[in-house]
Amino acid sequence: MRKIRKGDTVQVITGEDKGIRGTVQRVIIGRRRDGTRDPNDVRVVVSGVNLVKKHQRRTPDVRTQYGIIEMEAPIHISNVALVCPKCDKPTRVGFRVFEDGTKARYCKRCGELID
């Protein structure tokens, strides 16, 4: 079970965008050369964070934006912290295991379950 998931609100804790909050749009799990998942290479795309300018050619599809467009580039998951929906602060995440075997995340700051 991952600490940060799509749809979570996170805050950037290091780098140029430090302090910015956004929503996780995508979680990208890196792959090793043999195709297996690399748990140390997990990156996230966060709305409004790590914006890069991209030159997009005009395409036959009129729905595609063209010219210089800004888009979010992925950042490493270790550069963001989950924002607790209860105490509204960036926090570390712990896991609780219940008697029926299900797991849930909780905020290590205020102790509230996150989901």
Contacts of Zn ion in 61-100 (CB under 5 A): 84, 86-87
Q: Region of 67 please: left (phi>0), alpha (psi -120 to 50) or beta.
A: left
Specify the residue, 73 or 113, whose C-beta has the smaller distance to Zn ion: 113
Count of C-beta atoms within a 10 Å radius of residue 110: 12
Output the smallest distance, CB 81 to Zn ion, in A: 11
Rounded-to-integer distance, Cα 5 and Cα 44, Å: 9
Specify the residue, 30 or 111, whose C-beta has the smaller distance to Zn ion: 111
110 binds Zn ion (CB under 5 A): yes
Output the smallest distance, CB 11 to Zn ion, in A: 13
Specify the residue, 70 or 112, whose C-beta has the smaller distance to Zn ion: 112
The separation between the first and the last C-alpha atoms of the chain, rounded to the nearest angstrom, is: 12
Backbone torsions φ then ψ of 71, nearest 5 degrees: -145, 160
Specify the residue, 77 or 84, whose C-beta has the smaller distance to Zn ion: 84
The residues of the shown chain that bind Zn ion, judged by CB under 5 A, are 84, 86-87, 107, 109-110
